[in-house]
Structure 1
Amino acid sequence: MNWRSRVFRLLRINYCRPLTGLLVCTLEGGIGKPSFPVESSYNSPYSDRITVLSGLPTAKTVKADSPDSIFEQALEWYHQGTVVGFEQAIPLLKNAYQLYQEQGQVQQSALSGLLLGIVYKNLGQLEPSLEYVQQALAFYEQSTDPVGMADSLNQMGLIYQIQADMDAALNAYSLALQHYQQVEDRGGEAYTFNNIGVVYDLLGQYQQALDYYNRALPLWRDVEDGYGEAATLNNIGIIYDHLGDYDPSLHAYEQALLTYRTLEDRLGMARTLNNIGLYYDAVKLPQQALTYYERALPLWEQVGDRPGQASTLNNMGYVWADRGQWEKSLGYYEQALPLWEQVGDRKGKASTLNNLGYVYANQGKPEKALEHYQQALSLRQEIGDRPKEALSLYRIAQVQQEQGELEEALETLKPAIAIIEDMRINVASQELRTSFFASKQDYYEFYIDLLMQLHQKSPQHGYDAQALQVSEQSRARSLLDILAEAQGDVSAGVNPTLLEQKKSLQKQLSLQEERRIQILSRSHTEREAQVIEEKIKTLLDQYRAVQALIRVSSPRYAALTQPEPLTLEEIQTQVLDEDTLLLEYFLGKERSTLWLVSSTEIKSYELPGRETIEQSARKFRDALTIPTQRIRRNVMETTAIQLTEQILGPVAEELGNKRLAIASHGALQYMPFAALAVPGLQEYKPLIANHELVNLPSASTVAILRRETQGRKPAPKTLAVLADPVFGQNDGRVSTRGTSKAQPLPPDLERSARESGVLFDRLPYTHQEAESILALVPAPERLEGFGFSASRTLATSDELSQYQIIHFATHGLMNSTNPALSGLVFSLVNADGEPLNGFLRLHEIFNLNLPSELVVLSACETGLGQNIQGEGLIGLTRGFMYAGAPRLVVSLWSVDDQATAKLMIDFYQTLLAEGKSASQALREAQLKMWETSQWWQPYYWAAFTLQGEWNH
């Protein structure tokens, strides 16, 4: 191995995520879920592993004043891995670089220039870094050295990445890859695949990142490079953390740890042990988390890595705080704080200060809490860390509320909410998404609670109306976050050029915001700060201009992505009529709120907290759906009356016989209001006996639907039905000539099914149900898709846009654990048993073209996770509404096929033959079943709900 290649083995130890910053994340106490770690740019490419340098020329073989001798001295300084070492290396490298050029030594000129670029990069001085790397590339091109060119391009990619120019980074990596492949340098290929994976990881495109990491892994193993293999395994673990798929995450970390231990790499071990600690913290196993943190701590100390040590101490403090062990938590935070100060890391310091404030607040020391929160807030404002600035403001407002300073708390909280709304543009940033967006509902919940407390204090000031608007705002925000997590673009209804501009600007803004935080967190020049601020301002101006164009040219898309929730007055004039009451719920930890809104007034009521309502809701749903309970009429009626008293009791005298438009929240979104009791009666009578019922994602949604469908011509034909798909090779309809080997489900479908507790059994009665419905419509006016024809291809075709009513009789998944995995399942195999893509995911539903009057999902089912959220149902409902349907009929659980067939036939007869509205037709069909001895149980009829527009 020659000198250059030996030195470049050193340079290629840049395996980790090439972005400057901390090795690991620091957890913020008490809000949302923790964000997961990222590995940083040059995390010790100069540790004790650099034994490869032993073959370099020594002092005995080179002249003292020769460029080789000077270069060797520079390497010794570089080897120290400190800021001082890098700064001392620069003049030596510049001297060697000049001498090599004067002597015409092209290869050594290239190598010393490249190392200069890397040293400047490690110091955060990116302009000279890029300049020297580009010069090195020119020297390697001059000598026609493909490996040198590739190594230079890889370093350019790292620099572009740090500058948040991801397109340029990907281009540089792509060129590097071509050169490595030209000479079959498999180690170089692995290095580059890893770096490309990092780019996609930073862009939030996790499947692409995983694909590239998995391409790097076997190459590292082929060249027996344990360091590269372990670093890529760590990156794979981080990807699975981002996706919330924790088992493969732990497996990757454990493999990385084993490799680092074999290599006796203490830094790698420390990093991985910390990552495993974060894993155990995320899955709520705090004692295991602490065990791994405790194993990481001495390793950080041994390698002298104070940021890593401070991060782990901070994480340990978080675990103890989460368990309410305030004194223990305090001890760890107080150890972390001076370490951040020693290394001048203002971001880490702000995180620990905020956590200290949280501990003091919970210890009943508001003055000390405010002092630490204010210090954290100042640092975060200085470094431009806006998401964490919102968190500090939120914490300060909480203390103010607890001290009875409600008006002051409101004024403190308002800018935090403004930051949340403004940060929509940064959805590409994983750090912001995991540490910030995941906890957004806490902000809205606190905002509503604060406004309602102020309403109690000053009822005449309209705080309850403001709180209602915040409730609407939170629902729109929640839907956007589901779509962000769905990892797919909603492209229907928007100019594709504008959409591409918007996406590009979002990515650039996210990355430049992160870059600003990194720059301002450390020592920096005024020029550096000025340049990054100017970049962000320019990008923001461009982004807002694109948003304005979208609002003008694509109003439907703008209503989804730039929502403007209605005020009370707008709800009363644009949504409600004199026959309709809005019941809007918001479930809070301490207390919940119900707003009763008519076309002329608003009233608000305090309800029990979320846990109490959820407990009653679970009992009620179990009494309806569990076979051993649903046959016991007294159990069903008792649980119905109990839940009714909690959520409708306060408004019993206000309801009359009016239509109820219900905007539920949380667990209530999966509750069949039709089977609740009429409030105020001594004996059970279903609510639907007195009221027509409609469910809404939000009140604002109705106004949007009316704007979008106003003046729209009806589709030319009447009814399309897709029913009874083929889900597996064991279905009798599959040809025996086909393969007998069972095929696994696609990963996203398998995961959603597992989380929802769904088995893809055939739905035999759906065929009979569909044929009975189709018989109500003349043949030219209908479309049928049975068996293999009930396919994803047909469901996504433009053919369905020709029908006013679209009926899907197939498994629908409303995933309450991961709403982004909600969707519909069509035929999964063809006639020969070969696998098909039959899963229509949430973001794909948004992109359908269905300008229909009604969509019916007659076989949906929901597995209620431990943490009940309504976003699975809301996402699916809003997806079809965005696709063009103003109303849907959706089932909340999978009902007996025969009962579904009966209800659907009665529903369609009333709808089509008598011309009644969908909400009226559904109510009549449900009452008819309730009054029949065979079908009286609400299990058979109450699952079906009308979502959306009620006007005919």
Structure 2
Amino acid sequence: MFSCGSGIEPVPEESQRTILSLFKQGEWRKAREAARQAGSRFPERSAEHWRFRALEARALVYARDPESAAALMDRPPPEGPAYCPARAWRAWVIGFARARKAAEGEPARRLLEEARALGASCPEPEAEIEAKLALARIAGQPAEAEALLLSALRQSEENRDEVQRMNTLLNLSALYLRQRRADAGLLAAEQARDLARRLGNPLMEARAAFNLASLHGDLGDTDNAIQVFRDLLPLLRRSSSEDEMLALGQLGLFLSGRGDGGEAVEPLRRALALARQRGHPDEIRRYATNLAIVLLGMGRIDEAAAANSEAERILAQPGGLGGSEYVGINRARIALARGDSRAAEAELRSIAARAGLSARLRWETHFRLAQVLRRERRLAEAFRHYESALALAETTRAAQGREESRISFQNTLLAFYAEYSDALIEAGQEDAAFAVEESSRARLLSDRTGGEVRSNPQRALGILRERARRHNIVFLAYWITPPRRHVRIVSGSGQRRVDLPVDAARLRRMVAEYRRQVELFGDPLAGSERLGRELHRTLIGPVEEEIPRGARVYLVPDGPLHALNFETLVVSRGSPRYWIEEATLAVVPSLTVLTERRSGPGRPGGALVIGDPIPSERGFRRLEHGAAEMRNVARHFHKATILAEEAATPAAFEQVEPRRFRYVHFTAHGKANSESPLDSYVVLSPSGGRGVLRVREIAAKPMEADLVTVSSCRGTGERSYAGEGMIGFAWGFQRAGARAVIAGLWDVNDRSTPAIMDKLYESIAAGHDPAQGLRLAKLAQIRAGGRYAKPFYWGPFQLYTSTF
């Protein structure tokens, strides 16, 4: 006899595996529907029905709808061991939903502790882990939150549960983001992203990328953070209104941080509107506060006051919401803008007196107090608060474990250094302003020197003046900020500041356009080309009379000037000629670093010449003139170690101990990474699956070379960072200890490069130092005429040094 039924019912375990697989992929809507259908096949009081009801509720929570999940689990399951997992999940779901409401913090905690205990006893380890994650979000102390999350991480690893490990890492990265612990946060977010990618979960990958971008943005890498948020918005908008709101809020903050206040207002208004729709007071308070901050930066005081008032109304409600300090700082700034300095000062001193402020809040409070006191002309007090802010900033920077974090963090301090310097100049304290400007530069390069001179600017200036008198040297340090654009010139007669006749935006456009002209094989000496002359008149003209012809110039660029080779500028007076005809140039990261780092010859260990590799990296071919260049270089040394073709591997470079050599020369392609500059690399021959040498690897291995040369690639990097300049191979080798580095601002792969390198080392062999040798090589090419006289061919190569 045959039954006329509808078919074989799926086994509950098979349905559960399907739903958990959908969880792994981030398909929560599909998972919810699958769980609902599976549960409907079983009686309402059965354990199977409650198993799938719990899965349906979890899917709702993961899709950012905990209120619907709590409503679904409102009725408790029956008693008995078979229902223990469902009771654990019910306690978690309702506790999770209540934890989002500040007024229900204690009931939420009790429910989550119940879920944790039930998860451990049932056992239902996933519920136990999820309870720990939720408890961490409402933990009163950061240490308690971290302990809960680390316990959850260990448990997920022991259980080999990759989905829970991904969730826990994501929560850890969010915790570290709130605590401003960028190093730990970046590591957790990177691991969560990589795991989500491996699991095929694009939404969790997007959430991890969101945390990564937020962490990078907090450290000052706003350009990349902004692009990530813009790319993520379409996906996050499909996910939930909460994800969209968070992305809009971060996008607005980082646009503002980059100086694009006008662009920042719209995403912040949209984030605030979504927060109002969702009816979450803490979200309304956060985005109203942030909108007020941006509007204050734009000088739109009345609009800022209205937004801040909305945040104040939320704070006045019962429930103990956080964030009152930033609302108070906004209130002080509004009062100051309206001329009420006394109210502004009182507000800020009240905030400063509170216990438990984060380093960032303490820094901000000191900075804002300094602004108020400066307005009141109480300069001695103002400078004390600027100094307190500076000390806090340095402590925070030094606490960043990874070099990327310390590099990016410096970007966040640009406005502070600019304002502090401006205040000191206004007060006539030029040497102190010089010290502040220098304190913003080359922090990582000076970490290894102790920085004694940095705290004694008078001593530093004394050393520089003595050097200038004895060796026909001129020191130029540029400062390009919104309040001021100037150059400091230090010569044998002293130090003085000269204002530049250009605003920052105009200068940035001029430099970018001139670089474009040069890289398109332009001829700046032609009568129709005026930009090279205009830049010379703007940047060198104001101090030209104090630079003797033939002098050695140590030049500290700033902002857009890192992308400019001053040698290519056309002298604005007399017959058309490049500025290289007038001076021997060396680019330095900071004048005080010159006085801190040791000078003198390195080890007399001959030369290491490495290159002409057989690359395995996609998109790179062998250099057409690489072999000729290496022969030209090696012939100038009695003792040269050559690593070429298959032998030019990263492992071989490390095995020959590069610190033994006085000269190191690379002839290879390079790839600059603007998003992660320490991951820029030189392309070598592969060995053991490794065919590149990264900047972070270079910087980590001590060197004592007098000169490292990186030809044939963009060795300076693609992006400048506040204080450190262009981060690329030149920076990496200086960080490792090389006294001088020659690297390129743009790529040149032509027969002209071997000729320049040949003349460079010929001049060094004849007794010239590297800066003189490079100048002589370039001048020889210019004077030979023809197409190679154009700056495209000789202009990319610059000498970078941090020693005399």
Q: TM-score, normalised by structure 1?
A: 0.65
Deviation at 1:805, TM superposition (A): 0.9
1:165-223 per-residue CA deviation (whole Å, 9 max, x = no partner) reads 78855652344225644xxx7875665464466577665453542333553588797xx
Q: Which residue of 2 aligns with 1:115?
A: 113
1:400-422 per-residue CA deviation (whole Å, 9 max, x = no partner) reads 55666655543442222222122
Q: Which residue of 1 aligns with 2:283?
A: 308
Residue 801 in structure 1 maps to residue 659 in structure 2: yes
Percent of aligned pairs with the same amino acid: 19
Residues of 2 paired with 1:154 and 1:74: CA distance? 10
Which residue type is aligned with residue 458 of structure 2? L
Q: Is the 8 A contact 1:394 1:412 kept in 2?
A: yes
Q: Is the 8 A contact 1:822 1:876 kept in 2?
A: no
Deviation at 1:677, TM superposition (A): 4.9
Residue 173 in structure 1 maps to residue 146 in structure 2: no
Q: Which residue of 1 aligns with 2:191?
A: 211
- Equivalent positions of 1:100-499 (< 5 A) are 115=113, 136=117, 140=120, 163-164=142-143, 168-169=147-148, 172-178=151-157, 180-181=159-160, 191-192=167-168, 194-195=170-171, 198=174, 203-206=183-186, 208-213=188-193, 215=195, 233-243=206-216, 244-246=224-226, 249-250=229-230, 252-260=232-240, 269-270=241-242, 272-279=244-251, 282=254, 297=272, 300-301=275-276, 304-318=279-293, 320-321=295-296, 325-343=300-318, 348-358=323-333, 365-367=338-340, 371-372=343-344, 374-376=346-348, 378-382=350-354, 383-398=356-371, 401=374, 409-427=382-400, 438-455=411-428, 463-477=429-443, 479=444
Q: Which residue of 2 aligns with 1:639?
A: 531
Q: Is the 8 A contact 1:353 1:373 kept in 2?
A: no
Residues of 2 paired with 1:434 and 1:891: CA distance? 21
Q: Is the 8 A contact 2:594 2:803 kept in 1?
A: no
- Equivalent positions of 1:7-18 (< 5 A) are none
Residues of 1 paired with 2:133 and 2:331: CA distance? 41
Query: Of the candidates 773, 791, 796, which is equivalent to residue 921 of structure 1?
Result: 773
SS in 1 for 2:427: helix
Shifted more, 203-212 versus 421-430: the winner is 421-430
SS in 2 for 1:605: strand
Go from structure 1 to structure 2 and tell me whether the alpha carbon gap of 1:281 and 1:425 turns closer, same or farther (over 3 Å shift). closer
Go from structure 1 to structure 2 and tell me whether the alpha carbon gap of 1:78 and 1:601 turns closer, same or farther (over 3 Å shift). closer
Residue 610 in structure 1 maps to residue 504 in structure 2: yes
**Structural RMSD (CA):** 4.7
Deviation at 1:474, TM superposition (A): 0.5
Q: Is the 8 A contact 2:344 2:372 kept in 1?
A: no
Q: Which residue of 2 aligns with 1:930?
A: 782
Q: Is the 8 A contact 1:213 1:232 kept in 2?
A: yes
Deviation at 1:593, TM superposition (A): 2.5
Which residue type is aligned with residue 693 of structure 1? L
Go from structure 1 to structure 2 and tell me whether the alpha carbon gap of 1:171 and 1:454 turns closer, same or farther (over 3 Å shift). closer
Deviation at 1:829, TM superposition (A): 6.1
Residues of 2 paired with 1:340 and 1:622: CA distance? 52
Q: Is the 8 A contact 1:790 1:826 kept in 2?
A: no
1:626-683 per-residue CA deviation (whole Å, 9 max, x = no partner) reads 22x32752245x433322222222333322243222222222233223234557x433
1:237-267 per-residue CA deviation (whole Å, 9 max, x = no partner) reads 232443435555455554344243xxxxxxx
Q: Is the 8 A contact 1:918 1:950 kept in 2?
A: no
Q: Which residue of 1 aligns with 2:460?
A: 570
Residues of 2 paired with 1:563 and 1:671: CA distance? 28
Which residue type is aligned with residue 339 of structure 2? P
Residues of 2 paired with 1:336 and 1:161: CA distance? 22
Go from structure 1 to structure 2 and tell me whether the alpha carbon gap of 1:654 and 1:762 turns closer, same or farther (over 3 Å shift). same
Shifted more, 158-167 versus 208-217: the winner is 158-167
Residue 596 in structure 1 maps to residue 489 in structure 2: yes
How many matched pairs? 729
SS in 1 for 2:574: coil
Query: Of the candidates 617, 632, 637, which is equivalent to residue 777 of structure 1?
Result: 637
Residues of 1 paired with 2:543 and 2:197: CA distance? 62
SS in 1 for 2:642: strand
Go from structure 1 to structure 2 and tell me whether the alpha carbon gap of 1:909 and 1:567 turns closer, same or farther (over 3 Å shift). same
Which residue type is aligned with residue 792 of structure 2? Y
Mind listing any 5+ residue stretches in structure 1 that lack a counterpart? 17-42, 63-67, 94-111, 119-132, 222-228, 261-268, 456-462, 481-555, 731-759
Residues of 1 paired with 2:70 and 2:402: CA distance? 33
Query: Of the candidates 939, 943, 946, which is equivalent to residue 792 of structure 2?
Result: 939
Residues of 2 paired with 1:937 and 1:89: CA distance? 71
Which residue type is aligned with residue 656 of structure 1? P
Residues of 2 paired with 1:875 and 1:245: CA distance? 20
Query: Of the candidates 902, 918, 937, which is equivalent to residue 755 of structure 2?
Result: 902
SS in 1 for 2:800: strand
Which residue type is aligned with residue 242 of structure 1? L
Q: Which residue of 2 aligns with 1:841?
A: 694
Query: Of the candidates 746, 765, 774, which is equivalent to residue 893 of structure 1?
Result: 746
Q: Is the 8 A contact 2:699 2:735 kept in 1?
A: yes
Which residue type is aligned with residue 397 of structure 2? R
Residues of 2 paired with 1:188 and 1:713: CA distance? 54
Q: Is the 8 A contact 2:633 2:761 kept in 1?
A: yes
Mind listing any 5+ residue stretches in structure 2 that lack a counterpart? 1-46, 81-85, 217-223
Query: Of the candidates 604, 611, 619, which is equivalent to residue 714 of structure 1?
Result: 604
Go from structure 1 to structure 2 and tell me whether the alpha carbon gap of 1:726 and 1:338 turns closer, same or farther (over 3 Å shift). same
1:139-182 per-residue CA deviation (whole Å, 9 max, x = no partner) reads 947x877667666776787799954378855652344225644x
Q: Which residue of 1 aligns with 2:548?
A: 656
Q: Is the 8 A contact 2:672 2:718 kept in 1?
A: no
Residues of 1 paired with 2:669 and 2:145: CA distance? 40
1:15-53 per-residue CA deviation (whole Å, 9 max, x = no partner) reads 89xxxxxxxxxxxxxxxxxxxxxxxxxx99963322453
- Equivalent positions of 1:861-872 (< 5 A) are 861=714, 871-872=724-725
Residues of 2 paired with 1:674 and 1:11: CA distance? 67
Q: Which residue of 1 aligns with 2:83?
A: none
Residues of 2 paired with 1:180 and 1:5: CA distance? 20
Deviation at 1:307, TM superposition (A): 0.9
Go from structure 1 to structure 2 and tell me whether the alpha carbon gap of 1:881 and 1:426 turns closer, same or farther (over 3 Å shift). closer
- Equivalent positions of 1:40-55 (< 5 A) are 47-54=67-74
Q: Is the 8 A contact 2:57 2:70 kept in 1?
A: no
Which residue type is aligned with residue 683 of structure 1? S
SS in 2 for 1:366: coil
Go from structure 1 to structure 2 and tell me whether the alpha carbon gap of 1:881 and 1:72 turns closer, same or farther (over 3 Å shift). closer
Deviation at 1:13, TM superposition (A): 8.9
Residue 56 in structure 1 maps to residue 54 in structure 2: no
